[in-house]
Amino acid sequence: MTGLFLFLCSLLPLKISHLLGSLIGQLLYLFNSDAKKVTTQNIAICLPDLSKIQQRELVKKALIETGKNLTESSRIWNQSFSDNSKYIRNFHGEQYLSSTEKTILLVPHIGCWEITGRVLADNREVTFLYKPLRSQKQNDYLFARRNKGNLTMASADHSGILKLQRALKKGQLIGILPDQDPGPGQDGGITAPFFNNPVNTMTLLVKLAKKHNAQVLMFWANRLDNGKGFDLNLEPLDLNLNSENLLEQVTLMNVAIEELVKRFPEQYMWSYRRFKSTHPYN
């Protein structure tokens, strides 16, 4: 049933897809869904200075954007990279890709992250790290739609990390979405502040940048109103990679993500249990 729904969504024009996604988001809010509960708690944790009314308004807006992300992703997955590129209205900072430096893309879960690597893969080789889903069926479904053409997916394990390093050595772009819990007991996690709250934070991006002397670019696609498409954005980050203080570097990474979230708060993936290592979601 889910597969059929996503297939039907893939046939819709982007504007209609976003209208449907907006309706889904409003239903998620109306029926007190799990997504609403987690979104509400995350916003309360990260943005306590907002009034209760402001928090509720942001929860509703965020769920609407979550719905749009769901419906637009199926369309993006089932199109060619060149067709995906037609949705891009502006590409700010594209000049940073002309550097001869090795490059790591820091891609937060904001806006339409699914389109970021696909647009770049239209004319260059890109490798993105991904965290396999628990459901093998769902994982196979997504992998088949993501891993194609110039876009290679590397699983978040030892073999995947080696794949990322080989790509860097070849001068290819690699992308990492570091604003997710690396999991208990897994190598690569450290407790660092995120919106002034301790959270288990991935260190892989920082370690790879240090080891390969790579530049780090924040990369995101913010969603435009009325189904008009997306703006792509690249901004260089200074993570003080010459320092030996890993916690400082990871904290700088989290601060950069925080600042971006503050610019597009409704487009962040608040429905993810980001603080599950320290916060008992209920």
**Tens digit of each residue's pLDDT (9 = 90 or more) over 233-281:** 999 999 999 999 999 999 999 999 999 999 999 999 999 999 998 888 8
pLDDT for 9 equals: 77
CA-CA-CA-CA torsion sign (77, 82, 88, 90): positive
Q: CB neighbours of 28 closer than 8 A, spacing ≥ 6?
A: 35, 36, 63, 66, 67
Task: Pick the closest to residue 73 from 151, 129, 20, 132 (CA basis).
Answer: 20
pLDDT in tens, 18-61: 999 999 999 999 998 999 999 999 999 999 999 999 999 999 99
Local confidence band at 136 (pLDDT 50, 70, 90 cut-offs): confident
Residue 184: pLDDT band (50, 70, 90) is low
Question: Does the pLDDT of residue 185 top 60, yes or no?
Answer: no
Q: What's the mean pLDDT when you consider all of the chain?
A: 93
pLDDT confidence of residue 145: 81
